[in-house]
A and B are shown apart, each in its own frame.
Chain A
Amino acid sequence: MSVVTSSLVIRNGTVYDPANGIDGEKMDLFIENGKMVEETRGREIDASGLVVFPGGIDIHSHIAGSKVNLGRLFRPEDHRKDHVSRTHLTRSGVGYSVPTTFVTGYRYAKLGYTTIMEAASPPLMTRHTHEELNDTPIVDKACYTLMGNNHFVMDYIKKGEMEKLRDYVAWLLNATKGYAVKIVNPGGVENWKWGRNVESIDDKVDNYEVTPREILVGLSRVNDDLGLPHAIHVHANNLGSPGNYETTLQTMDAVKGRMHLTHLQFHSYAGDSWAKFSSGVDEVVKSVDKHDNITCDMGQVIFGDTTTMTADGPWQHRLYGLTGNKWFNADVEMETGAGVVPYYFTRKSPVNSVQWAIGLEIALMVKDPWKVCLTTDHPNGGPFYMYPKVISWLMSKKARDQTLGSIHKAASARTALPSLDREYSLYDIAIVTRAAQARALGLKNKGHLGVGADADVAIYEFAEDHVQRSFSKTRYTIKEGRVVAVNGEIVDSFQGRTFWADAQGGVTDEVREAFAKYYTVSFENYPVQDDYLPRAEAVPCG
């Protein structure tokens, strides 16, 4: 199904397109049939005095699927704060930390974002993920398929059957219409099925005799063999624990192939206790700088109320113990698990204040901005509509200092943030919110405005003294060549595309037998049917 669009000309905007080396050049842009073209005539948009970016890309956000929906069901008090009435064009819904699907799409579009990656989908429940993605309007999307605690994966790695692993992974991506290999607390979520966790990447997983290291290395090898567009997307072991930066360093050293370390802030802690909690960013950044096979995203903390949700069952249980908040735990047979716990990041807490500083330290200290992506791990660190706030902290030392002055002094004492003078330019912001994300994801037609790119464009009215306000809404958001948002109002809504990684694979009779023996669904009913992706975009691999 294609979307018919008319031509558009964006006149005289100040364009930032880092993938094509364009740093604030006044130029005209031409759009036809949903793509950037050399030249055309059509509806004119006067972008004089306005800043033109490619459409925003979110490389890691929890917006659709079973645990996200559990988060919604679980937090009626969150929704009472932020309800959205319908208009003649847009559907109603609720917002705040776990927005409903329609509100998610509209709000991303208003921010100038046009491509969103759902961070974690358990294979067995992925039909639900696609149903919700289908109800997330406007934006293009994809989902990452959870594999790091998968019984087949661990079994093949244990037996050293890398060919079979390769075929299985390719088949699983096809069966789930997933985009990437997602790994969350490898081995730890499996152990959680027995009430345990792993503490280091060399701990053996109960009953499987494999280690997190072996899971990471095995899946990374297969990922690169298959030529999947994105690296393995890794939520490392020991998330949230004081002193976990060492696990993160070991994780980085263990994997020679491509790896994306997600919400790195949550994995960069030093200190041997909560009382001694401090920043371990120095060592982490040194390692990121050293490794050219590694990209990362921030996982920035925003002060206020939010909802944590990850596949890291044991961590979520720990957070429940630390907070006494209501806690939801899920188990997905043969595959993974999940946990959801509301959480409030408070300025009064030394730990939360240091966490806030760490996210920014990472983005400010990594030498190559192409390795860094801006995220809050929505909603874990904070809701995605706080991205403009994060942008203002990156672009303005004054904004950072203002916040530092309003939070616990531990942030100043136990991190390097006060001494970091670097301020991101618009070019840098375009990298960490668009170009770097597209490159890391292997999305060749996204994150840039060169001829042939998807016509996803965000046009902002930028005021240097009001960075947060500038990025809070676009003057125009254009998606596939259609103007979808003007001045913070949705003016057009349609369904975006779902991208998935098309690798060649298949499964053996062994797998079919295992299904019959252990799964509660039959092998034939397991794969997500094509009907679930009305606008599918298969990305070839290899």
Chain B
Amino acid sequence: MIRLRPRQESRIPVEAECISPDAFSGKSAAQVEDMKILWGNKTKRLVDLFEVVEDPAEPNEIVVDGDVRFVKHIGAKMSMGRVIVNGDAGMHLGRGMAGGEIIVNGDAGDWLGTEMVGGLIRVKGNVGNLAGSAYRGSKSGMKGGMIVIEGGAGDELGELMEGGTIAVKGNVQSFAGALMSGGAIVCFGGLGGRPGAGMTNGTLLAFSQPRLLPTFRYARTYKPTFIKPILEELRKQGLPVEDRQIEGLYDAYEGDLACDGKGKILVWKD
């Protein structure tokens, strides 16, 4: 395991895609210290901004001890191992991730898990906007993996999602699931406006009554069985899933009709 301690807070943003188990794999502490990061527009060594301590236990694990809300791209494109952030994490955490696990014991910035294809990201606190979404211009967003957020999420959660699962315990702002074509977004708290805008497929599960767009049409009330494995998995991840949520009735709304969408917003009937 490599333990990184930020030397000081910085108002200048840092880009550190090298902080990933894939990049650290097979490297000694000295080599890790030498890795290049960007501090604003200057290239620096990792050791310039972080104290690096090696622990032979837990190979392929990275622990960041401290507030790194100014550090972007931690865990980018990782495919194995684990990253634990004991503090707030910056933007683009785990973007393009393919496997492994990231745990944030704090908040995380915008663009968390953008365009990820596998792996697990768990955040104890809140995340910013565009979690589990796509970068501007891309046709496809998240394709796989799981994002579990115990706090709240901002706007455009899971935009352009094609696969995988996102679950948020707290409140979610506007445009959740916009342009979705697959996957599942589960909202345990409040759900903001315009959910599923432009959705063509996929599922948005809501445990509160959302304000739906007029282009979503009530289809039926039923007990959807496909949500059972998703909710059971979320329960395993520590989210407060009740049996009556797994077994209960849901009002199904189909849309977004503005794009001939076959997506579903399922609203739990308490």
Q: How far, in whole Å, are A188 and B163 apart by their CA atoms in the complex?
A: 42
Interface string of B143-173 (1 = CB under 8 A from A): 0000000000000000000000000000000
Chain B interface residue bracket vs A: under 10
Say yes or no: is B236 at the interface (Cβ < 8 Å to chain A): no
Q: Hey, which chain A residues are within 8 Å of B139, CB to CB?
A: 77, 325
Say yes or no: is A21 at the interface (Cβ < 8 Å to chain B): no
Q: How far, in whole Å, are A325 and B139 apart by their CA atoms in the complex?
A: 9
Say yes or no: is B229 at the interface (Cβ < 8 Å to chain A): no
Interface string of A73-95 (1 = CB under 8 A from B): 01111101000000000000000
Q: How far, in whole Å, are A78 and B138 apart by their CA atoms in the complex?
A: 9
Question: Which of A76, A77, A78, A80 gathers the greatest number of chain B CB atoms within 10 Å?
Answer: A77
Say yes or no: is B135 at the interface (Cβ < 8 Å to chain A): yes
Question: Which of B135, B136, B137, B138 gathers the greatest number of chain A CB atoms within 10 Å?
Answer: B137
A469, chain B: closest CB distance, angstroms: 29
Q: How far, in whole Å, are A77 and B137 apart by their CA atoms in the complex?
A: 5
B226, chain A: closest CB distance, angstroms: 27
Q: Hey, which chain B residues are within 8 Å of A77, CB to CB?
A: 135-139
Interface residues of A in 66-116 (CB under 8 A from B): 74-78, 80
Q: Closest chain A residue to B140 by CB distance?
A: A77
Q: Hey, which chain B residues are within 8 Å of A74, CB to CB?
A: 137
Q: Hey, which chain B residues are within 8 Å of A78, CB to CB?
A: 137
Q: How far, in whole Å, are A246 and B136 apart by their CA atoms in the complex?
A: 42
Q: How far, in whole Å, are A47 and B136 apart by their CA atoms in the complex?
A: 47
Chain A interface residue bracket vs B: under 10
Interface string of B116-143 (1 = CB under 8 A from A): 0000000000000000000111110000
Q: Closest chain B residue to A78 by CB distance?
A: B137
Interface string of B34-46 (1 = CB under 8 A from A): 0000000000000
Q: How far, in whole Å, are A74 and B136 apart by their CA atoms in the complex?
A: 9
Q: Hey, which chain A residues are within 8 Å of B137, CB to CB?
A: 74-78
Q: Hey, which chain A residues are within 8 Å of B135, CB to CB?
A: 76-77, 80
Q: How far, in whole Å, are A76 and B137 apart by their CA atoms in the complex?
A: 5
B201, chain A: closest CB distance, angstroms: 14
Q: Hey, which chain B residues are within 8 Å of A80, CB to CB?
A: 135
Q: Hey, which chain B residues are within 8 Å of A76, CB to CB?
A: 135-137
Q: How far, in whole Å, are A76 and B138 apart by their CA atoms in the complex?
A: 8
Interface residues of A in 294-316 (CB under 8 A from B): none
Q: Closest chain A residue to B136 by CB distance?
A: A76
B120, chain A: closest CB distance, angstroms: 25
Q: How far, in whole Å, are A350 and B138 apart by their CA atoms in the complex?
A: 26
Q: Closest chain A residue to B138 by CB distance?
A: A77
B154, chain A: closest CB distance, angstroms: 20
Q: How far, in whole Å, are A541 and B139 apart by their CA atoms in the complex?
A: 49
A374, chain B: closest CB distance, angstroms: 30
A449, chain B: closest CB distance, angstroms: 43
A328, chain B: closest CB distance, angstroms: 12
Q: Hey, which chain A residues are within 8 Å of B138, CB to CB?
A: 77
Interface residues of B in 95-128 (CB under 8 A from A): none
Q: How far, in whole Å, are A76 and B136 apart by their CA atoms in the complex?
A: 6
Q: How far, in whole Å, are A268 and B159 apart by their CA atoms in the complex?
A: 41
A325, chain B: closest CB distance, angstroms: 8
B235, chain A: closest CB distance, angstroms: 36
Q: How far, in whole Å, are A193 and B153 apart by their CA atoms in the complex?
A: 44
A86, chain B: closest CB distance, angstroms: 10
A326, chain B: closest CB distance, angstroms: 8
Q: How far, in whole Å, are A257 and B136 apart by their CA atoms in the complex?
A: 48
Q: How far, in whole Å, are A67 and B139 apart by their CA atoms in the complex?
A: 21
A307, chain B: closest CB distance, angstroms: 11
B96, chain A: closest CB distance, angstroms: 11
Q: How far, in whole Å, are A457 and B251 apart by their CA atoms in the complex?
A: 72
Q: How far, in whole Å, are A80 and B137 apart by their CA atoms in the complex?
A: 10
Q: Hey, which chain B residues are within 8 Å of A325, CB to CB?
A: 139
A95, chain B: closest CB distance, angstroms: 15
Q: How far, in whole Å, are A442 and B218 apart by their CA atoms in the complex?
A: 68
B140, chain A: closest CB distance, angstroms: 10
Q: How far, in whole Å, are A32 and B119 apart by their CA atoms in the complex?
A: 64
Q: Closest chain B residue to A75 by CB distance?
A: B137
Q: Closest chain B residue to A80 by CB distance?
A: B135
B24, chain A: closest CB distance, angstroms: 24
Q: Closest chain B residue to A85 by CB distance?
A: B41
Q: How far, in whole Å, are A80 and B139 apart by their CA atoms in the complex?
A: 14
B68, chain A: closest CB distance, angstroms: 24
Q: How far, in whole Å, are A80 and B134 apart by their CA atoms in the complex?
A: 13
B36, chain A: closest CB distance, angstroms: 13
A147, chain B: closest CB distance, angstroms: 33
Interface residues of A in 35-84 (CB under 8 A from B): 74-78, 80
Q: Closest chain B residue to A74 by CB distance?
A: B137
A282, chain B: closest CB distance, angstroms: 38
Q: How far, in whole Å, are A494 and B136 apart by their CA atoms in the complex?
A: 34
Q: How far, in whole Å, are A250 and B19 apart by their CA atoms in the complex?
A: 63
Q: Hey, which chain A residues are within 8 Å of B136, CB to CB?
A: 76-77
Q: Closest chain B residue to A79 by CB distance?
A: B137
A321, chain B: closest CB distance, angstroms: 14
Q: Closest chain B residue to A77 by CB distance?
A: B137
Q: How far, in whole Å, are A78 and B137 apart by their CA atoms in the complex?
A: 8
Q: How far, in whole Å, are A186 and B137 apart by their CA atoms in the complex?
A: 32
Q: Closest chain A residue to B134 by CB distance?
A: A77
Q: Closest chain B residue to A325 by CB distance?
A: B139
B136, chain A: closest CB distance, angstroms: 5
Q: How far, in whole Å, are A102 and B137 apart by their CA atoms in the complex?
A: 22
B195, chain A: closest CB distance, angstroms: 23
Q: How far, in whole Å, are A75 and B137 apart by their CA atoms in the complex?
A: 6
B239, chain A: closest CB distance, angstroms: 33
B219, chain A: closest CB distance, angstroms: 25
Q: How far, in whole Å, are A356 and B139 apart by their CA atoms in the complex?
A: 25
B262, chain A: closest CB distance, angstroms: 15
Q: Hey, which chain B residues are within 8 Å of A75, CB to CB?
A: 137
Q: How far, in whole Å, are A80 and B136 apart by their CA atoms in the complex?
A: 10
Instruction: List the interface of chain B (C-beta within 8 A of A).
Output: 135-139
Can you show 13 pairs from A to B with CB atoms below 8 A apart?
A74-B137, A75-B137, A76-B135, A76-B136, A76-B137, A77-B135, A77-B136, A77-B137, A77-B138, A77-B139, A78-B137, A80-B135, A325-B139
Given A76-B137, A77-B135, A77-B137; 7 other pairs, CB 8 A cutoff = A74-B137, A76-B135, A76-B136, A77-B136, A77-B138, A77-B139, A325-B139
Q: Which 7 A-B pairs have the closest CB atoms?
A: A77-B137, A76-B137, A77-B138, A76-B136, A75-B137, A77-B135, A80-B135
